[in-house]
Amino acid sequence: MPHTTQLYQHVPETRWPIVYSPRYNITFMGLEKLHPFDAGKWGKVISFLKEEKLVSDSMLVEAREASDEDLLVVHTRRYLNELKRKVLKPLRTQTGGTIMAGKLAVERGWAINVGGGFHHCSSDQGGGFCAYADITLAIKFLFERVEGISRATIVDLDAHQGNGHERDFMGDKRVYIMDVYNRHIYPGDRFAKQAIRRKVELEWGTEDDEYLGKVERNLEKALQEHPPDVVVYNAGTDILEGDRLGGLSISPQGIVKRDELVFRVVRSRRVPILMVTSGGYQKRTARIIADSILNLYSLGLIRPESPSISAQNLDSPLLPPEVP
């Protein structure tokens, strides 16, 4: 019998399946102003969406902090005891948001956690600014608590390999992992790569056309090979040109197009999709994420009410067919 959790409470239909809390944002006693790392990007995304009149506070779902009992669904007690709780409260709240958004995605057809995507963390090991395995947790909560959800696909499009969830789901046939990443950068986890069912390794400086073509073709094949009950989309923006850690050269427009094609391909199959925002901390990142969400809305790929959306919006291909 699953434990009692605050994260799976009923959400009124009047609220959009967009999950956020002001507690997501991290402050280092003012030091964040001196560093290119944008520790308040999540709040800025919401501010941009409010400015564009897409959302208001009353339309958002307030994320709750994941409790120790919630985290123990995946993590070991020993690992949790090693972490300092106070400093990590924002990350625990973002983790709770991902778990909440998983349930909402199944109920509404889609959901976006404006934070989360800690894909380097596994059950007993953190890494790369990732303290909690929110993607693994969201999927395991769904498997345990939601009837009809027994197969999941992770589409990890952050610039870095998602070695945390790969280690957690190693050998688990219910979970199919597609990972598209710069082959030359952190973490280079050869053991974890064994869990990737569709691996797309990129070179330094990969640009829009090559990238979008590879994402679309491989996503179509992934969904054919393993038809899932839910897709978790790790939508990292560290693929953006100028990101020194990501090492790729995708334009802001390329990122918006990427998110559009993932939502179009997944939703055309009537599969629920949960998006998390993951890595990418340049000063312009928040604006790009907001623009992407606005684009999804303008195309009818996300709507407040919808498990069912018009087929007309979904069935047209985003990219021209590949030339033989």
pLDDT 10s digits, 272-283: 999 999 999 899
Q: What is the pLDDT of residue 37?
A: 64
With a cut of 70, which residues of the chain have pLDDT below it?
27-37, 85-87, 305-324
Where would I find the H helices in 74-229? Answer: 77-82, 89-108, 134-145, 163-168, 190-193, 208-225
pLDDT 10s digits, 13-64: 999 999 999 999 976 545 445 445 677 899 999 999 999 999 999 999 999 9
Q: What is the pLDDT of residue 281?
A: 87
pLDDT 10s digits, 290-311: 999 999 999 999 998 655 443 3
Q: What is the pLDDT of residue 85?
A: 63
Alpha-carbon distance 280 to 11, whole Å? Answer: 29
Instruction: Report which of 159, 177, 161 is spatially closest to residue 169, judged by C-alpha positions.
Output: 177
pTM for the model: 0.93
Residue numbers annotated as active site: 120
Q: What is the pLDDT of residue 65?
A: 97
